[in-house]
Structure 1
């Protein structure tokens, strides 16, 4: 039995993707609950947001930015940047601009972390 159960209707802020992409790393339980079996490490935190690189993810190098009820994916364009928005769910344009600026400021560290987890960009 999983120690932590999350409601499927829970927004991306708790690790659930609206498009169901991460269901492959989860077990589904009765009554619409999901139990996550893979740790999702936060690489960076700012303004109440988490920046995550998933261990089983694909290239190109990118990060998931997760907030309460919102999620965005930015391609890092390592090593020189700038990060580009690939997709966004429920973030406002002004928030996305702030996120892109914060990611640009931390680009070298984010690229180094991607390389540590996945190898080449």
Structure 2
């Protein structure tokens, strides 16, 4: 699972054997969340959360939002069209 970027100390990963729609996994602090990217321009939305607090998720989603186009391009490179 390649790390696409790190935001606020949390890995933003795109799994190599994953499925559509385009999404990323936020992994860190012993927690994981999945954000649908809504390519190509977002905004990302929460699909699943395993342990992040609401305030942490809000901060992470705000931090990920400006990078949606970059993450969509990385998704497309790994998985093809979203």
- TM band (smaller chain): over 0.9
Q: Normalising to structure 2: TM-score of the pair?
A: 0.96
1:61-94 Cα offsets, whole Å, 9 max, x none, are: 0000001210000000000211000000110001
1:7 matched to which residue of 2?
A: none
The list of structure 1 runs, each at least 4 consecutive aligned residues, that deviate by more than 2 angstroms after superposition, is none
CA shift for structure 1 position 48? 1.4
Q: Normalising to structure 1: TM-score of the pair?
A: 0.66
Larger Rg: 1
Higher relative contact order (CA 8 A, sep 6+): 2
CA shift for structure 1 position 118? 0.4
What is the DSSP-based 3-state SS (H/G/I as helix, E as strand, rest coil) of the residue aligned with 1:102?
helix
In structure 1, list runs of 5 or more residues that go unmatched: 1-39
**CA RMSD across the alignment:** 0.7
